[in-house]
Amino acid sequence: LGKDITVTENEARIYYQENKDSFVLEERYIRFRHLIASNFQDANDARIDIMKGISWEIVLDNFSINPDIAMRESERFWPESVALSNYEILNRYLRLIGKSEISIIEKIGNEYHFVQLLEERSAGDHPDLEWLIDQITDWLILEKKRIAFNTYLKNLYLQAQANNEIE
């Protein structure tokens, strides 16, 4: 029972393919950029640089008050209902703007914000396997542990029965 139970990435991929219909997005998922600047001029300059095609990383380094967080958050997909839910106006823009469009700059508190929609996945679509690979791997490990534990219990029972320790 103490043996190491592992799941390969290939096992997780096969599981996903065999059960793909169980993995369907229940709402729209979006990937977007969110820039927070300390003043209007920086936010506006950042917006202009994005429209010029300057890389997001450079724009963040030059104008964002939190470049590491902004970069990390721009790399993943978010359920539309959760995306920037603490900034209702920005969440609303993400629901309205089209792909690659940039919202207007909004002053929220003492900071200046805008968002740009990058990608979207509609409700009913299948998520990318990369979104789920860690979760599927964890599920498969739990399933293997459950099977190993049940096998162990059954063997203990059969051994006790063979030794006339139980009826």
Asked if 8 and 75 touch (Cβ cutoff 8 Å), the reply is no
132 vs 85: CA distance, rounded Å: 23
pTM for the whole structure: 0.69
- Across the chain, where does the E strand assignment appear? 29-37, 78-79, 106-108, 111-121
Q: What single-letter amino acid sits at 22?
A: S
Q: What single-letter amino acid sits at 63?
A: F
127 vs 3: CA distance, rounded Å: 33
80 vs 96: CA distance, rounded Å: 11
One digit per residue, the tens of pLDDT, for the chain of length 167 reads 556 789 998 999 899 889 888 888 889 999 999 999 999 999 999 999 999 999 999 999 999 999 999 999 999 999 999 999 999 999 999 999 999 999 999 999 999 999 999 999 888 888 777 877 888 888 899 999 999 999 999 999 999 988 988 87
